[in-house]
Amino acid sequence: MPITIIVGAQWGDEGKGRITDLLAAEAEMVARFSGGDNAGHTITVGNEVFKLHLVPSGIVQPNTVSVMGAGMAVNPKKLLEEMDGLMERGIDVSPSRLKLSAGAHLILPSHVALDGASEETRGEDALGTTKRGIGPTYADKAARTGLRSGDMLAADFARRVSQAVNAKNRVLVEIYGCHPLDAEAVADEFEGYARRLRPYIADVSLQVHLALQAGSRVLTEGAQGTLLDINHGTYPYVTSSSPIAGGVLTSLGVGPREVDRVIGVTKAFQTRVGEGPMPTELIGPLGNALRGTGANPWDEFGTTTGRPRRCGWLDLVLLRYAARINGFTELIITKLDVLSGLDQLRVGVAYKYGGREWRDLPFGPNALAESQPVYADLPGWSKDITGAREFADLPPAGRRYLDFVQQEVGVPITLVSVGPEREQIIRMIS
């Protein structure tokens, strides 16, 4: 059986982890392919809430193997902490169930320090990164000076770590005026991580091929979102990896013919963390209403950094763009219930920029920042929809909203979530 790709259609935080958890029940393998612990995926199973940053969300399903691709950047300390946390809660994270690509790059404390120092130095021009060392790690990857998880198998791994940290110490001290890191201490610490992680290191491309050959369904779990893609996102306010469908192929080492479903996950509204343009952003009471208070784990506060997310109306110009970049075969809408109680809803259908109206993204370095959204107004609904399990259970305005999105984007909606629990799902019959 082939590959199902799940990707975020927005700026991340679309609820992909939860959708992966749902679809993982029908898959034998779940793969993460981009980013690192900048991601945060929240899954609710009964009364239990799992917050995962690195380990694929499929791990909470008892019968799936979880793999982490070569396109990832992995902080081994964070990975082990997460694995320990899962084990304490009775989840099996043995090497037969979790595999780390030898090609995934390692995030060292020097990368984390550089990320922080660079953001601080930028001041008002900061990118708003998660300060997890993501950018500096991928910079080393592109410069071909990074350490990969396969290096943990080498006899002189500790020496390689101390050399890498010392190289960055020069930048930290001379450029940023920071204290140097103790390279030997870091090397010792990493030797300990390597001892524990060695059994998990694998040729993930081969593992995926073997699974496909055996007739298994492989589900790939996106992190971040299309608009944060290094090539196709809102550069420079992007992450440093490729969280789009194309990124699956390069990260896992598979060809495009293996893929038969590309699922785009979008919230029923728009959110963004960090800096950068967001044409449909709502500042004030409406934006606050969409965000929630933070009392619930699913309110709009970053899973990784706790930062409040910027909230706004759903932007269909960006959603159409994401459908094109990824080749969506279906759309999943999350958090439709959050829109309940609003008298009137708006969706961005075009932009005004440079004296004309655009249904596709206008070009130019500042185009998105200078674009004014053109809205379509739709009726809201007051009914609580968290108990809806079928399309027919939704109020007419809720059905109208979904139909409108589907028509504007030109991709069928297959699932809609109306609450955080596994069963709070509407399966659409097309």
Interface positions with ligand IMP (CB under 6 A): 11-13, 38-40, 127-130, 132, 134-135, 223-224, 228, 237, 239-240, 273-274
Least distance CB 39 / ligand IMP (angstroms)? 4
- How far is residue 318's CA from residue 332's CA, in Å, rounded to a whole number? 15
Return d(Cα 315, Cα 348) in angstroms, integer. 5
Nearest distance from C-beta of residue 11 to ligand IMP, angstroms: 6
Distances, alpha carbon 353 to alpha carbons 137, 272, 376, in Å: 36, 21, 17
Cα gap 387→385, rounded to integer Å: 5
Three-class secondary structure of residue 353 per DSSP: strand
CB closer to ligand IMP out of 76 and 135: 135
| Assigned token pair, 90 | 């009775």
Contact assessment for residue 344 and residue 430, using Cβ atoms and an 8 Å cutoff: no
Residue with tokens 């193997």: 65
CA distances to 61, 298, 394 from 399, rounded to whole Å, are 32, 23, 6
Alpha-carbon gap, residue 364 to 372, rounded angstroms? 15
Residue 10: name the closest of 238, 231, 236, 218 by CA.
238
- CB-side neighbour CA atoms (13 Å) of 209: 9
Q: Are 312 and 269 in contact (CB under 8 A)?
A: yes
Residue 133 CB, nearest distance to ligand IMP (Å)? 8
The verdict on whether 13 is a catalytic residue reads yes
Tokens 């609450």 sit on residue: 419
- Contact yes or no for 243/8 (Cβ under 8 A): yes
Work out how close the CB of 40 gets to ligand IMP at its nearest, in angstroms, rounded to a whole number: 6
> What is the C-alpha to C-alpha distance for residues 149 and 105, in angstroms, rounded to an integer?
6
Q: Give the Cα separation of 281 and 310 in Å (integer).
A: 7
Closest residue to ligand IMP: CB criterion: 274
Active-site residue (options: 13, 115, 229, 315): 13
Task: Tell me, yes or no, if 41 is annotated catalytic.
Answer: yes
Pick 36 or 420: Cβ nearer ligand IMP: 36
Q: State in angstroms the smallest separation of the CB of 231 from ligand IMP.
A: 14
Quick one: 1 or 127, whose CB is closer to ligand IMP? Answer: 127
Q: How far apart are CA 266 and CA 92, in angstroms?
A: 30
CB of 92 to ligand IMP, least distance (A): 25
CB 333 within 8 A of CB 413: yes
E strand spans, 276-315: 310-312, 314-315
Pinpoint the alpha helices (H) of 35-146: 76-88, 109-122, 134-143
Phi, psi (5° rounding) for residue 349? -115, -15
Nearer residue to ligand IMP within complex by CB, 35 or 419: 35
| Cα separations in angstroms, 324 against 32, 168, 316, 416 | 22, 39, 12, 21
Q: Which of 21, 37, 41, 229 is catalytic?
A: 41
Judged by CB, which is closer to ligand IMP: 221, or 408?
221
- Which residue number, 235 or 410, has a Cβ lying nearer to ligand IMP? 235
Considering beta carbons, is residue 231 or 407 the nearer one to ligand IMP? 231
Which two structure tokens, joined as six digits, stand for 348?
């961005």
Q: For ligand IMP, which is the closer residue by CB, 130 or 334?
A: 130
Residue 31 CB, nearest distance to ligand IMP (Å)?
16
- Minimal distance, residue 135 CB to ligand IMP, in Å: 5
Q: Which residues are catalytic?
A: 13, 41
